[in-house]
Amino acid sequence: MKLVIAYINPFKLDEVRDALKESVGGLSAGNVQGFGRQGGHTETYRGAEYEVQFVPKIRVEVIVDDADVAGVVAKIEETARTGQTGDGKIAVLPVEEIVRIRTGERGPDAL
């Protein structure tokens, strides 16, 4: 099993969710701030200009069976891509154990 973490643009979240609906049992999404090659922006308050380095992004996390990983990554890649700097990144991590809290099921049954 693998944990797929994707940092994407907030306005892409709905598309990504729609694309993944059939492939995954569930997904979690949270607000993060980050920067990569995409620079920050300037904000002005009361005559003072501030260089704000952080850009709002969404971190999507899904846990998938090994067989499904490539497909899920490809779906995220396609839907989240705009071609501009700031599209984000996807990381794939190994998962040791997974438990469904309600039933106590473990392993692939818990996905």
Partner 1 sequence: MDSGSTAWVLASAALVLFMTPGLALFYGGMVRSKNVLAMLMKNYVAMGIVTITWITVGFSLAFSGDVGGGLIGDLKLWGVRDLGLGNEQFGYEIPDLLFMAFQMMFAIITPALIAGAVAERMKFTAWVAFVAIWSIVVYAPMAHWVWGGGFIAEDIKALDFAGGLVVHINAGVAALVLVLVLGPRIGFRRDVIRPHSLPLTILGAGILWFGWFGFNAGSALAANGGAANAFVTTHVAAAVAATTWTIVEGMRHGKPTTLGFVSGAVAGLVAITPAAGFVSPLSAVVIGIAAGSICFYALQLKFRFNFDDSLDVIAVHLVGGIIGALLLGFLAEARIGGVDGALLGEREWIQVWRQFLSIVVAIVWAGVVTFIIVKAIDMTIGLRVSEDEERQGLDLALHEEQGYILAD
Binding site for partner 1 (CB under 8 A): 43-52
- Rounded least distance, CB 41 to partner 1, Å: 11
Nearer to partner 1 by C-beta: 47 or 104? 47
User: Encoding tokens for residue 70?
Assistant: 């490539």
- Rounded least distance, CB 25 to partner 1, Å: 23
- Tokens 């999507």, located at residue: 60
Nearer to partner 1 by C-beta: 18 or 43? 43
The alpha-helical segments, DSSP class H, found in 1-111 are: 13-20, 69-80
Q: Are 21 and 111 in contact (CB under 8 A)?
A: no
- Other Cβ atoms less than 10 A from the Cβ of 42: the count is 8
Nearer to partner 1 by C-beta: 44 or 84? 44
Q: Are 92 and 2 in contact (CB under 8 A)?
A: yes
- Rounded least distance, CB 87 to partner 1, Å: 25
